[in-house]
């Protein structure tokens, strides 16, 4: 019996099947030069436009703004295929951030006017989105954020510093989470849309980092930044609720992309151990090698099942906080383990940059940190257990 590493076939609608086909068609163009872009830490707007041209960014948005109104679960299957076919993990992460941080936040919570004005360009990818959450003195402790938003007539004035803003250096729109009242706890937070070019909003340059180098992370400094009160997403004081929902989407989308990347990695490893010979026989005949490949396969499948189960629960209207947290931990840790195992099975070639294996280790390193650290995820699970 042959065990396939491919995703199980799904009864997808024609529109989603065409979207998958368009991703497959542009993948060779996107993949060309991705290792060089990683070396230079370059975000390519041209490559972004290639991906945007598939219609991915509008896939879950309403048809009236140019979307296809697909479900969360369908979107997850599509972006898993993205991870399998596109080798630029930084681009994939930027895409996930764009989809969740701005597309989902605006579509799910913004006023009809904000949706009408911004969703069409989000759907086409003409406007790149980001969200600004983390601060230098408040990482995973969201409630400790110090960035403020004070009402001044028909405007709200923002002051503070955000960091590790994915897509920030290239973003056209930022959803910024700020404290809008002195009310302690979550009810004091709000989400505010800040377009690039707004006076007092300084989108800083990309930070130099070892992981996901083609996805730019930066700082956003807000100094007397005035935006219309109409740019508040949802009601004032609902920022924590919005962020909770957005981060659930970000985890489900970003990490199911990782599953696609893990499946592709496994396929490469299987081919490698079947064809590479040592001591007069294929590597696949060595028990230790077979054990390692089996562990990679099980880790990938366990992560995949956990994520899709969480996605189905969320799509059905459940909070699924613990399920999403467990899926995030399983996938982020399995991604690192399988990437390291792949490098070892490729031997000396595994650490050569041209092989495209060592980049998998580097790109996996941030997984336990971003989208809510794994330590925070474990606390959510503990709370669900009543601890």
CA angle 167, 169, 170 (to 5 degrees): 70
> Is-contact 313 347, C-beta < 8 A?
no
The secondary structure of 17-41 as a DSSP string is HHHHHHHHHHHHHHHTTHHHHHHHT
Q: How many Cα atoms occupy the beta-carbon half-sphere of 13 within 13 Å?
A: 10
Distance CA 302, CA 327 (A): 9
Q: Is 153 helix (H, G, I), strand (E, B) or coil?
A: coil
Q: Is 173 helix (H, G, I), strand (E, B) or coil?
A: strand
Q: Is 320 helix (H, G, I), strand (E, B) or coil?
A: coil
> Is-contact 128 165, C-beta < 8 A?
no
Distance CA 222, CA 231 (A): 15
The label of the residue with tokens 């970000």 reads: 250
Distance CA 163, CA 221 (A): 9
Instruction: Verify whether residue 135 is a known catalytic residue.
Output: no
Distance CA 76, CA 313 (A): 13
> What sign does the dihedral 279-285-289-291 (CA atoms) show?
negative
Alpha carbon of 5 to those of 24, 25, 164, 226, 341: distances in Å?
17, 21, 34, 51, 16
Distance CA 382, CA 387 (A): 5
The H-or-E segment that residue 175 falls in is strand 173-179
Distance CA 4, CA 45 (A): 35
Tokens of residue 305, six digits? 């099942």
Which one of 157, 250, 261, 358 is the catalytic residue?
250
DSSP lists the bridge partners of residue 209 as none
Q: Which residues does the annotation mark as catalytic?
A: 250
């Amino acid at each position: 019996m042959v065990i396939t590493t491919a995703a199980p076939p799904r009864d997808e609608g024609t529109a989603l099947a065409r979207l998958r086909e368009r991703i497959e068609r542009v993948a060779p163009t996107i993949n060309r030069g991705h290792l060089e872009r990683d070396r230079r830490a370059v975000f390519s707007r041209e490559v972004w436009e290639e991906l945007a041209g598939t219609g991915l960014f509008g896939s879950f948005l309403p048809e009236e703004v140019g979307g296809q109104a697909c479900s969360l679960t369908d979107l997850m299957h599509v972006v898993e295929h993205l991870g399998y076919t596109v080798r630029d993990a930084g681009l994939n992460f930027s895409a996930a951030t764009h989809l969740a941080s701005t597309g989902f936040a605006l579509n799910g919570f913004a006023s009809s006017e904000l949706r009408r004005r911004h969703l069409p360009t989000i759907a086409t990818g003409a406007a790149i989105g980001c969200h600004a959450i983390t601060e230098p003195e408040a990482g995973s402790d969201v409630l400790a954020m110090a960035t403020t938003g004070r009402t001044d007539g028909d405007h709200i004035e923002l002051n503070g510093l955000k960091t590790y803003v994915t897509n920030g250096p290239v973003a056209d729109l930022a959803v910024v989470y700020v404290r809008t009242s002195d009310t302690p706890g979550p009810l004091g937070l709000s989400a505010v849309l800040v377009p690039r070019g707004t006076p007092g909003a300084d989108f800083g340059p990309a930070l130099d980092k070892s992981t996901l180098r083609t996805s730019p992370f930066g700082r956003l400094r807000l100094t007397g930044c005035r935006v219309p009160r109409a740019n508040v997403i949802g009601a004032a004081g609902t920022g924590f609720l919005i962020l909770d929902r957005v981060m659930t989407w970000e985890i489900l989308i970003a990490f199911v992309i990782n599953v696609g990347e893990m499946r592709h990695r496994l396929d490469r490893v299987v081919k490698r151990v079947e064809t590479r010979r040592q001591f007069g026989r294929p590597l696949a005949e060595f028990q230790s090698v077979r054990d390692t490949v089996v562990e990679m396969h099980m880790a990938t499948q366990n992560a995949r099942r956990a994520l899709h189960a969480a996605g189905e629960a969320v799509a059905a209207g459940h909070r699924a906080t613990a399920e999403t947290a467990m899926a995030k931990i399983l996938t982020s840790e399995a991604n690192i383990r399988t990437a390291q195992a792949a490098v070892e099975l490729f031997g000396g070639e595994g650490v050569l940059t041209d092989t495209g294996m060592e980049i998998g280790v580097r790109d996996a390193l941030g997984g336990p940190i971003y989208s809510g650290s794994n330590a925070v995820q474990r606390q959510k699970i503990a709370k669900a257990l009543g601890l």
